[in-house]
Amino acid sequence: FEQSGLNFPGISVKTRDSVVFRAKHWLQQHIQTPYSLERVAQAATASPRTLLRHFKEVEGMTPLDYLHRLRVERAKQLLEVTLID
């Protein structure tokens, strides 16, 4: 069992964090793209189920919830710019 990786939790944390990092980066770069869990998972090099699990562990929300927050923040920024002009 020692070679299975069960005694090395840091490896899974690093993998989990890199999956979430890649997913967040893809979502930020494709904020206007229609949401597809499968596409985000592909970009993060993980299965949809693994992505959901890791994303919730790290961010406390789903990738879709994260995307909604990104979009709301973007809308706020656009409104602020519009109101200034």
4-62 pLDDT, tens digit each: 333 434 547 787 899 999 999 999 999 999 999 999 999 999 999 999 999 999 999 99
CA gap 83, 68 in Å, rounded? 22
What gap in Å lies between CA 1 and CA 20, rounded to an integer?
27
The secondary structure of residue 34, as a DSSP letter, is P
pLDDT for the residue numbered 14? 81
Q: Domain span at residue 9? A: 2-84
Q: Which two tokens stand for residue 4?
A: 């299975």
Which two structure tokens, joined as six digits, stand for 43?
A: 């970009």
Can you tell me whether residue 62 is helix, strand or coil? coil
pTM tops 0.85: no
How many domains does the structure of the chain reveal?
Answer: 1
CATH number at residue 22: 1.10.10.60
